Amino acid sequence: MPARVSTLVGSLSLFGLLSAGTAQALELPLPPPGEDVVGEVQVIKAAYEDTFADLGQKYDLGYTEMVAANPGVDAWLPGAGTEIVLPTRFILPPGPREGIVINIAEYRMYYYPKGGHTVFTYPLGIGREGWGSPIGVTKVVDKIKDPSWYPPESVRAEHAAEGDPLPKVVPPGPDNPLGPYKIRLTLPGYLIHGSDKKFGIGMQVSHGCFRMYNFNVTELVGMLPVGTPVRIIDEPYKFGVSQGKLYLEAHQPVTVKGDPTEIDRQAAVVNALIKRDDLLQANSAVNWNTVRDVVQGQDGLPVEIADLPAGMTPGAVAKAPAKTL
């Protein structure tokens, strides 16, 4: 286990522990006003038969974030007794904490129930190259139980070319790729839905829709009102405040073709910090050597990069919403 990870390790909140043990979403208490960090990192020891896909489903994590948090560990055969980092500590996404917020760069959704004091967070499968998931603001228009799947002509043509022809309609059932529920958005052609393949959660595998574990989408549908706003962002570098300290969380960008250079990554981090008007006073206190290490590691774990100046009381700054989809 990396040395800096050991300083982050703790126990999940009561909400998170209950959720992890009962195969439900991570439900975490919202932090006080002006703070942004929720949850705690966990470390477990793998059993012989464990894979990252199995552990991800058990602890409500996606495949990509498990791999990022455990460099050098075999995802399909970690080995009995191997220490596995569970990246269950998060900096909440920037912007208003309302409705659904999807951060494509994290392969993760955050749901803030109206009037509630907790946030539910779920791993997602997102659109693969050539079928990217959209960015912008939309809303929930319908929730459909046991949906039939009508593959678009483009998808049927793709499958036919690969020797795997699809019918015009796939009825409800265990082999239906939409799972037990689909959530329709005002954005035509894109859904939030379950999945018959747990291995695709936390990966770029879909034709643009957002895939969830079936037990997660079932739980979400039970809480989610029609009309709920949905904000889709792509923020690989998130800044957050907790107990007088500034944290950075870095993820591998998913929308950049090829490997971005170190200069590109550093510029992206600076731009992300500039967006946070409430944190401009912290610039002079930032340890840029630590920032460089965090950006190079891209392990998705929040890391302390500065002590906030005395008397600084940052508050969440709500930027203008993205273009409505």
- d(CA 259, CA 306) in angstroms, rounded, equals 28
- d(CA 216, CA 139) in angstroms, rounded, equals 19
* Residue 207 appears among annotated catalytic residues: no
Return the structure tokens found at 217. Answer: 């989408």
Catalytic residue among 117, 159, 193, 207: 193
- Whose tokens are 């939030």? That residue is 192
DSSP state of 170: B
Q: First-to-last CA distance in the chain?
A: 42
DSSP E strands: which ranges in the chain?
26-29, 37-39, 42-45, 83-86, 89-91, 99-103, 108-112, 118-123, 126-127, 136-145, 181-185, 191-193, 204-206, 210-211, 229-233, 237-242, 245-250, 303-307
* Residue 209 appears among annotated catalytic residues: yes
DSSP codes, 24-69: --EEEEPPPTT--EEE-BEEEE--TT--HHHHHHHHT--HHHHHHH
- d(CA 142, CA 127) in angstroms, rounded, equals 21
Residue type, 155: V
Catalytic residue among 117, 159, 207, 209: 209
Query: What is the set of active-site residues?
Result: 193, 209
